[in-house]
Structure 1
Amino acid sequence: MTRKATNFLLRSGGVEDLGIVGGLCACAFDPRYGEAWTPAQCAGMFALPGVWMTIAVRDDQAVGFAMSRAILDDAELLLLAVDPAARRGGAGRALLRATIVEAQLRGATNLHLEVRSGNPAVALYAEEGFTKIGERRNYYRGAAGEQFNAQTFRRSIIEE
């Protein structure tokens, strides 16, 4: 898959892109919240069925990625990261929308995600039709040992 989205090229990613993923995770996630995945964790996900990754590229530079999986009629956005220098420029929205399209193509009717309470991305998810369906108390553990709640969201992605 390769498609143009606004001023980004979206392309499929794989284990060969784990260096890109590691770099984006390092800059995109504030370490005080403990949300970033390591390249090894991402590599482990590729061993599971139904996992895919989309990378946003602008001016030959990867500026973000989304890793997702689909199982039967449910899909989950596992991780979405955008380089802070590229934020508010549409990469996150383009990756989210591409995830929705791919999940639909894979037969999913719902897309789930989880995000730390207070994460600014919650506004994007709400704008894109996600509804909060639950909360996991003290789910994330930050670098200094503090704990943060995780909110779970869902959106129907049935094509009409």
Structure 2
Amino acid sequence: MSEFRLATARVADLAAVMRVMDAAFDPAFGEAWSRAQLLTLFALPSARVCLAWDGEQPCGFSAARIAGPESELLLLAVDPAWRGRGIGAALISDWQAWGRGEGAEDYFLEMRADNDAVHLYERSGFSECGRRKDYYRGGDGMIRDAITMRHSSGTGLTR
């Protein structure tokens, strides 16, 4: 197994992020973001894109934003050729470390309810805290629920 490294992505890395996006997201679900959508994140001081590299190959990324004591994972993707190597878990840990540094105590994400990534998030300490019925309409014509997951590292009140 080769080593990978994580680094904050810059606008110049947009093509690398899009390569991972195209490989990781099945078009049937309609979850991938466009280049224009991703580009907006680079302009926001409250957002961060982290890119995982295996040598010179981009193999995963996360995109998150922060608002006060909360941080939201907007996207997490690992190229299928690199799955099962701990990259997803490393990206989650990196997101939470960044969030802590920015004052976050609560971490949220939303995903398609039938996404196998739910197991990764559960292993990382997330649990379902909400559900949106019939939220996602995929390119395959199917309508799917969305689940919201939360992980709290703060000492404040639980919700």
Query: Fold-level match, TM-score > 0.5?
Result: yes
Tell me, in whole angstroms, the C-alpha distance in 1 between the residues paired with 2:99 and 2:124: 15
Tell whether the 8 Å contact from 1:21 to 1:39 is kept in structure 2 after alignment: no
Q: Tell me which of 67, 70, 77 is aligned to 2:73.
A: 77
Equivalent position to 1:14, from 6, 10, 29 = 10
Which one of the candidate residues 129, 135, 158 is aligned to 1:133? 129
Match of 2:142 in 1: 146
Q: State how far apart, in whole Å, the 2-side matches of 1:158 and 1:134 are.
A: 19
CA distance in 2, matches of 1:40, 1:153: 26
88, 93, 99: which one aligns with 1:103 = 99
Q: 2: CA distance between counterparts of 1:49 and 1:135?
A: 29
Give the equivalent residue in structure 2 for 1:3.
Answer: none
Question: Is it true that 1:24 corresponds to 2:8 in the alignment?
Answer: no
Query: Residues 85-112 of structure 1, C-alpha deviation per residue, up to 9 Å, x if partnerless?
Result: 0001111111011001000000000010
- The farther-off stretch of 26-35 and 38-47 is 38-47
Residue type at the aligned position of 2:3? N
Q: CA RMSD in A?
A: 1.5
**Structure-2 residue corresponding to 1:63:** 59
Does the Cα contact within 8 Å between 1:33 and 1:148 map onto a contact in 2? no
Determine helix, strand or coil for the equivalent of 1:32.
coil
Alignment check: 8 A CA contact 1:25 1:38 kept: no
More displaced stretch, 14-23 vs 30-39: 14-23
8 Å Cα contact 2:42/2:49 also seen in 1: no
Give the conservation status (yes or no) of the 8 Å contact 1:70–1:108. yes
d(CA) in 2 for partners of 1:71, 1:132: 20
CA contact (8 A) 2:71 2:107 kept: yes
8 A contact 1:133–1:152 mirrored in 2:
yes
Secondary structure (helix, strand or coil) at the match of 2:84 reads coil
- How many pairs were matched up? 154
